[in-house]
A = this chain, B = another copy of it.
Amino acid sequence: MKVRIHVSLKPGVLDPQGRAVHHSLEGLGFKGIEDVRVGRLIELEVADSTSDADLDRMCRQLLANMVIENYRIEKPESVA
């Protein structure tokens, strides 16, 4: 099954990459942009037997830096 993991910086954590993108978008002439945050999207193709607990452990041990990042797991039901 296909699982999507969204990793994003916690609110309050400085996001220099997001700021750079924000600045560049304004430089390109786009108006009305208030905030930009850049995170990671990890798409896993895993065995159907993989449990939610396993996915959780993958995130905590490797995929997200729990000190500054949050993650959200999107399972097949919700994947288009």
Contacts and interface: CB of A to CB of B under 8 A. Distances in A.
Contacts of A24: 62
Contact of A43 (B8, B28, B32, B44): B8
Contact of A34 (B33, B37, B47): B47
Interface residues of A, number: 33
Nearest to A9: B43
A79 to B, nearest CB: 11
Interface in A30-78: 30-47, 49-50, 54, 57-58, 61-63
Contacts of A40: 38-41
A25 interface: yes
Contacts of A46: 32-34
Contact of A41 (B7, B25, B35, B45): B7
